[in-house]
């Protein structure tokens, strides 16, 4: 796990959790966020745990449970 701190502005939406809003604002679904500090008028400071190869791991898991072979074969034929 690689931890990284950053600041950003997040629009808070009533009814959402803060984590929902942060994930939505940055399209980070699938990654792990921990809110460290929230101040009223300043950007939110969070620590962001980048899971090594987040998208790659997710895709690997999805691909292993699927049948991509027909698509592979057709694409290989098309782009030979």
Minimum distance from residue 6 beta carbon to another protein (Å): 4
Closer to another protein by CB, 12 or 58: give it.
58
Helix, strand, coil in percent for the chain, rounding step 5: 40, 25, 40
Identify the residue whose tokens are 């782009």. Answer: 79
Minimum distance from residue 67 beta carbon to another protein (Å): 6
Residues of this chain that interact with another protein (CB under 8 A) are: 4, 6, 8, 26, 28, 50, 53-60, 62-68, 70-72, 74-76, 78-79
Closer to another protein by CB, 17 or 60: give it.
60
The whole-angstrom separation of Cα 22 and Cα 12 is 8
The whole-angstrom separation of Cα 47 and Cα 3 is 7
């Amino acid at each position: 796990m690689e931890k990284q701190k950053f600041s950003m502005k997040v629009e808070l939406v009533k009814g959402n959790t803060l984590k929902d809003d942060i994930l939505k604002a940055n399209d980070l679904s699938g990654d792990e966020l921990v809110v460290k500090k929230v101040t009223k008028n300043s950007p939110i400071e969070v620590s962001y745990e980048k899971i090594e190869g987040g998208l790659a791991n997710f895709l690997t898991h999805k691909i292993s449970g699927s049948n991509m072979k027909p698509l592979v074969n057709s694409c290989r034929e098309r782009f030979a």
